[in-house]
Amino acid sequence: MTETTSSSTTAPKHQPLAPGDRIFYRGDMANPAGWLTVTRVHPPDRWSATSYDCEFDPADRDCGDFERQEIRRLADSQVSRVDQGNGATRFVTAEAYRAFRNEQLAALHQRLAGGGER
């Protein structure tokens, strides 16, 4: 007899975020980019996976006609741990954001120094 394992019992590929962790929201056509802070972690239960309540930084709340305060129950699956620099990674961890930004700045400096392809 062969034993099978359910994908729901496999270990997560990354650690869940914790209160105080930072998330960069890339924004979209109607909403400007901004920074969020995780304020609460909702552990997985029988209806949903890990999710987060997050608050926007005060400087990032103004959206013109309205003020945004928070995002509730942001699913862990929506928070990317690798930033691709496009709309496919709308929410990214601060570490992923910084890593991608540093890679892009290093490539720019190399091109400006004449060491890169055009």
19: in domain: yes
- Cα 78 to Cα 23, 67, 97: the distances in Å are 11, 22, 14
2: in domain: no
88: in domain: yes
Whether residue 97 contacts residue 24, with contact meaning beta carbons closer than 8 Å, is answered with yes
Specify the pTM: 0.80
Q: Is the pLDDT of residue 118 over 80?
A: no
The pLDDT value recorded for residue 6 is 46
67: in domain: yes
Residue 41, domain extent: 15-112
Nearest CA to 13 out of 42, 49, 38, 41 is that of 49
Q: How far apart are CA 44 and CA 56, in angstroms?
A: 23
Instruction: State pLDDT tens for residues 30-62.
Output: 889 999 999 999 999 998 899 999 999 999 998
31: in domain: yes
118: in domain: no
Number of separate domains in the chain: 1
24: in domain: yes
Q: Is the pLDDT of residue 2 over 60?
A: no
64 versus 111: which is more confidently predicted?
A: 111
Q: How far apart are CA 42 and CA 16, in angstroms?
A: 10
Q: What is the average per-residue pLDDT within 86-115?
A: 92
Q: For residue 16, what is the DSSP state? A: P
Q: How far apart are CA 1 and CA 3, in angstroms?
A: 7
Whether residue 54 contacts residue 39, with contact meaning beta carbons closer than 8 Å, is answered with yes
